[in-house]
Structure 1
Amino acid sequence: MPCFRSGATDAGPSFDQRLPETDVILICVKPKQAAEVVDALRRGGVRRDTLLVSILAGVTIARFEQLLDVPTPWVRAMPNTPCVVGAGMTVVAPGTHATDTHLQLAERIFSSVGRCRIVDESYCNAVTALSGSGPAYMYLMMEAMADAGVRVGLPRDLALQLVAQTMLGSARMVLERNRHPASLRDNVTTPAGCTIGGVLMLEDGKIRSVLARAVEEATRIVEQLGRPGK
């Protein structure tokens, strides 16, 4: 499966096979290179039945369809970096000419590196801000918690392992037990215990609103990235 990608010098998109031989093309470049990708597709003689899968943040399928002006099936996808270790989260959304078969193919591709959900394209910008950018939020919290562990006397490597495994285990509890995070938190928060003290400190720091505002701001930026000329 060929993949359009940005070169190290940002000289423009390139591809690794002749397009007429290609059934699926994964497009992984910066949003501002959308028009360049379409030009490359046109020059390469892309077939009308080739499935084109874009992971460009903020760029709508309608824009790609308008630029290419050929009834080719497009699917918009938004994966995240944990795909590298098989624990990714991806959503896929169909374009005008994408059939259920095309959508299922895209879903199988991304399910091979984690979980995948089919969604309406209107959700894609919010998904980008939440799960696409989400690993960065998680890493920031992990770093802060590991620093806290060091502050109270733990070796740094131990503190980081404790934090990373705790976050991994907590995520699996939500996904595999199918319970709301608040319910699972109650299991840990015993009366007059240390956990409720820590939770109240987090609430005093307005952690809920800060995280929510981070996602809101990232969504706003994603919407701007997808505009022509950006």
Structure 2
Amino acid sequence: MPGAARPRHSFCERSFALTKHTVAVLGTGKMGEVVLAGLLRSGWPADRLLITARRPERGAELSGKYGVAVVGNVEAAARADILAIGVKPQDAGKLLDEIGPALPAGKLVVSLCAGLPTGFFAARLPEGTPVIRVMTNTPALVDQGMTAISAGPHATEEHLALAEEMFRPVGSTVRVPESQQDAVTALSGSGPAYFYLLVEAMIDAGVLLGLPRPVAHELIVQTAIGSATMLRDAGEHPVKLREAVTSPAGTTAAALRQLEIHGVRAAMSAALEAARDRAREIAAQAV
């Protein structure tokens, strides 16, 4: 069901059917490496993983680090059962034109490319190729990622389940209609940067108030971790949690008043709309 979050669980609890498949990660930038490292941490056999890299030195680096084979794009398309496309959106068309003729029917293509709709892939790959679009984020590097998954042309329930099993080791997954993926990109794909900016600003404010920077850093980071844990585990709406901290005419109320005066809510809405619109622009430029 779209919108139903699926938390991660350990590899030993999952079906071993998925590990019979060979996965190729085409384009091993930041997010491609996230997928590769997550699969290996979950217990995925290294001999069932292939990678491609535009720069030979990058391929050698990852091969030495993870013990996986580096191959060309066409060979990866021919050998793998599942292709995870992790190149930059502007490079996706050229890659698909290269691998399309070598791609046998029925292989699952999982797109990590921000902004690109599944139709972009379907138009450049053999008829009947199942395509799934995902948007994950960098906390997947510490197994706390959030991944949204959408079915594209010819993708079945089995294909969706395979994609979920690929990303569960690095966090939680949720299914959404593809029409919502640009909003997902704005909210959770780019979301970590918003939190980092807020933490940065709070640390700087702590220094302004007279705290040593290391102390301000520790205070804010742990406060962020604790607050996030309560948001996840307490089962309370954020409004309720905020109200529990806010005493009438108290220090928190005074601070929140200033945030409202300076338009924090409006700024956040405008920022997310800008991110969504940029995702749409990327898709339009790639066509």
Summarize the Cα distance change of 1:149–1:40 in structure 2 as closer, same or farther, 3 Å threshold: same
The Cα offsets for residues 45-74 of structure 1, whole Å up to 9 and x where unpaired, read as 222222110011111001210122421111
User: Hey, what does 2:205 align to over in structure 1?
Assistant: 148
Q: Which runs of 5+ in 1 are unaligned?
A: none
- List gaps (5 residues or longer) in structure 2: 1-22, 30-53, 57-71
C-alpha distance in structure 2 between counterparts of 1:46 and 1:222, whole Å: 28
Q: Which region of structure 1 is more displaced relative to structure 2, 16-25 or 74-83?
A: 16-25
TM-score between the two structures when normalised by the length of structure 1? 0.92
Which residue of structure 1 lines up, in the alignment, with residue 168 of structure 2? 111
Aligned counterpart for 1:26 among listed residues 63, 84, 94: 84
Shift of 1:8: 5.4
Q: Return closer, same or farther for 1:132/1:16 CA change in 2, 3 Å cut-off.
A: farther
Instruction: Report the aligned-residue RMSD.
Output: 1.9
Identity %: 40
Using the size of structure 2 for normalisation, the TM-score is 0.74
Q: Measure, in 2, the Cα distance between the counterparts of 1:17 and 1:46.
A: 9
Is the CA contact 2:85–2:109 (under 8 Å) kept in the aligned structure 1? yes
SS of the aligned residue for 2:165 comes to helix
Q: How does 1:39-54 map to 2 (within 5 A)?
A: 39-43=97-101, 45-54=102-111
SS state at 2:129 partner: coil
> Distance between the aligned counterparts of 2:183 and 2:208, measured in 1?
36
Instruction: Tell me what 2:26 maps to.
Output: 4
1:68 to 2:125 alignment:
yes
Q: Indicate the structure whose relative CO is greater, using CA pairs within 8 Å and at least 6 residues apart.
A: 2
Q: Which moved more, 1:88-97 or 1:149-158?
A: 149-158
Q: CA deviation at 1:20?
A: 2.4
Misfit runs of 4+, over 6 Å: none
Aligned to 2:65: none
User: Quick one: distance in 2 between partners of 1:86 and 1:64?
Assistant: 28
Match of 1:182 among 219, 229, 239: 239
Instruction: Please tell me the residue identity of whatever aligns with 1:68.
Output: L
Displacement after TM superposition at 1:27 (Å): 0.6
